[in-house]
Structure 1
Amino acid sequence: MRFPEFTGEWKEHSLSEYLEFKNGLNPDAKRIGKGIPFLSVMDILADGVINYDNIRGKVEATEKEIESFGVNSGDLLFQRSSETLEDVGRANVYMDNRTAVYGGFVIRGRKIGSYDPFFVKYLLATPLARKRTCRMGAGAQHFNIGQESLAKISLYFPSMEEQQKIAEFLSLLDERIATQNKIIKKLETLIKAIGNKLLFGDEQNIRLGNILIERVEKSTTNNQYEVLSSTVKGIFSQRDYFSKDIASENNTGYKILRRGDIVLSPQNLWMGNINHNDKFDIGIVSPSYKIFTISEEFDCHYIAFLLKTRKALYGYMSVSEQGASVVRRNLNLEAFYELTYKIPHIAEQRRIGQILSKLKDKIESEQTYLEMLRAQKQYLLSNLFI
């Protein structure tokens, strides 16, 4: 796939022809948290390019350190170490003229050759570049890549004009992805605000034990059902769904989860590990999870949204603080069942549940579109580059 005005052959070059590599600054802990922007791996992995204003960390640095470990516009920054081989050596570009420095888990590629910085950022994310970069990674518990290894990586570069054309095209797609992320975040903020406003009122005080009924139904046949992901965390998030994988192991003893059920982890409940299965008719989850049905006297969508709000979790923590036998890593069902909430009558529950469900569906629709844009970008990265 190529723009029609370009016909010349791409030429293979090593990164050492374009970049001069250097490891980052390793300050003591007392200097971290104030000073000038201090670029880290998290900044490399963030969406979009790196600029002065979006760098997360700060550090007190001397003039000599700034001179030695400063970043200039157009410099490439590489992730030096990773827990997974697939992430080692991931790269981003700094596009700002203001002074910032980079940390020890980062390798700087100082621009010494002529290239379009955006093009090289995209080039380094292509399947071929990732394959050749990962091949250079080494390690046991952590995978690492060094300056010499990065310098040896060779990739194909077109003319400067074609670099700029490709970079401009992909930058437009990145801008659309960034806009889509903002749309989703605004919808998430909206549903949280509406939820906190509507879900808690001055109506009847109901004990949680009268709402949830624990159910234990176990799989008895191998590969009988689809395995639902263990991701049960999130509060009104576009990630509040169960991804599914076809079972390929012995699933006897797994708990069966049916549509409408509430599932929660008995460990770390204070972190919000709770979800509502409104996606699949049936599936199985880890035996360690607790499965609840919602009493027919209550609207399942209303109760599901209620239990996933931060106010609901704070209520749980307040019981813990009053001396109930609850520890962070194990759910005490007696204390859990004694939680009480102000819940309206069923007609109002249904009205609120419908409002929040429509907003949740809108978020999921926007998330699906975001995934489509990301897939489109990956397709282009695989086809616009040699």
Structure 2
Amino acid sequence: MSDFATKITKKNKGNIVKNVLCNSANLGLVPQVNYFDREIANTENTDGYYVICNGDFVYNPRKSTAAPFGPVNIYEGEEAGIISPLYLCFSVHNIFPKFLYYRFKSSAWHSYVYSHGDSGVRFDRVSIKDDVFFDMPVYKPAQDEQIKIATILQLIDERIATQNKIIEKYESLIQAICDTLISKEEQQVMLSFSDFGQSYSGLSGKSAEDFGEGYPFITYMNVYQNQIIDSTDVGLVKINETEQQSVVRNGDILLTLSSETPEEVGMGAVYLGETYPLYLNSFCFGIHITDEAKIYPPFLAYYVSSQSFRKAVYPLAQGSTRFNLQKSDFMKKKFSFPVIEKQRKIYSILKAYSDKLIIEKLIMRLLCKQKCYLLRQLFI
């Protein structure tokens, strides 16, 4: 590294530069106000911050799932920025910057930091001296090969960014269609969730030792994050015979009872996976939908994400730091539903777009898998 990298030591004397940056594993080097939605650093007291320019690198030693040895990012902003002195900043020469950037996105350098880092008291930070970091060996192919490697990886990144936008558009479209079709439907019936079947509570009091073996279970986050849950989405938990009432059946509606925000209370899902024993965990409750109910279970997966449903449930959420829903209050509340014939038609429309969304998400996973493969193979 020391053959082509030089540590940046220029300080922001006189607080001349006001563009405070942070180094994010997922977002890269971005203005602090964009990352935190507010200024964290006092812009009038940043004379100890390092000044960086376009093309400079910053190493943030804070560990994360996305960057187990801390992120190294390149600054691509046009105006000069300033970065906390807790970070290591350096400029490069005689190497294609984007090639080095992608090398740091690979795991090729992890073994060096692991074996040469100091054992510090901070478990959440990498502890490695600057001179040791710059002693890191880096295989540097010919310049044209560096450019080719960086170019193909950048093209994949651009394709992933485009795919993200496609997925976001489909998600917004499905939500808009869902809200429009449900709220504008003229033929409506007033029903409570107690009309649909018998409710049951999720398991509670499970300790960490309970997870990892036994029967599969669904957590609060499964319910909140998914409209339709498949058996591949769930974890495992031990269940005793007295807890059989929490078994989830094919087609059950699942809802959240407790959340950190009132908007998330009541968010739900419909389980449509295999019919082997599956259990509902705490902060949730479920409803076994009967055959006689005037509701189409797959339609409920979309209905509970609609704005009309959210607006009706929101006032029922009680609390200050954590918001809770009383199951008894919820079960007897009347909601406006399209008649069941219309439910099936609405579902068929939404299902067509959802199937397309599933394909787009599969394409995204394949693109990310391709990028991970290239990052493993192109750097030594």
Note whether the superposition's TM-score is higher than 0.5.
yes
Query: Taking structure 1 as reference, are residues 88 and 127 closer, same or farther at Cα in structure 2, changes over 3 Å only?
Result: closer
Match of 1:232 in 2: 222
Q: Please state if 1:213 is matched with 2:195.
A: no
Residue 263 (structure 1) aligned to one of 254, 258, 278: 254
Cα deviation digits, residues 166-221 of structure 1 (max 9, x gap): 00111111111111111001101111111111122452222232235314699xxx
Query: Taking structure 1 as reference, are residues 224 and 232 closer, same or farther at Cα in structure 2, changes over 3 Å only?
Result: closer
Q: Please state if 1:18 is matched with 2:18.
A: no
- Distance (Å, rounded) in 2 between the aligned partners of 1:363 and 1:24: 48
Alignment gaps of 5+ in structure 2: 204-211
Residue 39 (structure 1) aligned to one of 10, 14, 21: 21
On the 8 A contact 2:58/2:88 being kept in 1, the answer is: yes
Letter in 2 for 1:300: P
Match of 1:10 in 2: none
Query: Taking structure 1 as reference, are residues 212 and 140 closer, same or farther at Cα in structure 2, changes over 3 Å only?
Result: farther
- Distance (Å, rounded) in 2 between the aligned partners of 1:40 and 1:326: 32
Q: How many residues align?
A: 352
CA shift at 1:229, angstroms?
6.0
Match of 1:127 in 2: 107
- Distance (Å, rounded) in 2 between the aligned partners of 1:179 and 1:155: 32
On the 8 A contact 1:75/1:110 being kept in 2, the answer is: yes
**Identity within the alignment, %:** 20
CA shift at 1:320, angstroms?
4.1
Map of 1:1-386 to 2, 5 A cutoff?
14=1, 17-20=4-7, 37-42=19-24, 44-46=25-27, 50=29, 56=35, 59=39, 61=43, 65=47, 68-82=49-63, 87-103=68-84, 107-133=87-113, 136=117, 138-139=120-121, 142-145=124-127, 148=130, 150-201=133-184, 203-211=188-196, 213-215=198-200, 225-228=215-218, 231-232=221-222, 234=224, 243-244=232-233, 247=236, 250-252=238-240, 253=243, 255-268=246-259, 270=262, 271-272=264-265, 273-288=267-282, 289-295=284-290, 296-320=293-317, 328-386=322-380
Cα deviation digits, residues 270-300 of structure 1 (max 9, x gap): 3255322224434534542322223432011
Letter in 2 for 1:345: V
Query: Taking structure 1 as reference, are residues 85 and 91 closer, same or farther at Cα in structure 2, changes over 3 Å only?
Result: same
CA shift at 1:89, angstroms?
1.2
Query: Taking structure 1 as reference, are residues 343 and 264 closer, same or farther at Cα in structure 2, changes over 3 Å only?
Result: closer
CA shift at 1:357, angstroms?
1.9
Letter in 2 for 1:211: F
CA shift at 1:371, angstroms?
0.6
Letter in 1 for 2:106: T
Letter in 2 for 1:352: I
TM-score, normalized by length of structure 2? 0.77
Cα deviation digits, residues 237-265 of structure 1 (max 9, x gap): 7x976644674x64444743232122234
- Distance (Å, rounded) in 2 between the aligned partners of 1:22 and 1:363: 48
CA RMSD of aligned residues (A): 3.9
Query: Taking structure 1 as reference, are residues 63 and 181 closer, same or farther at Cα in structure 2, changes over 3 Å only?
Result: same
Comparing 73-82 with 281-290, which one deviates more in the overlay? 281-290
On the 8 A contact 1:21/1:151 being kept in 2, the answer is: no
- Distance (Å, rounded) in 2 between the aligned partners of 1:165 and 1:342: 58
Letter in 1 for 2:198: I
Letter in 1 for 2:124: H
Match of 2:206 in 1: none
On the 8 A contact 2:21/2:30 being kept in 1, the answer is: no
Look up the SS of the partner of 2:183 in the other structure.
coil
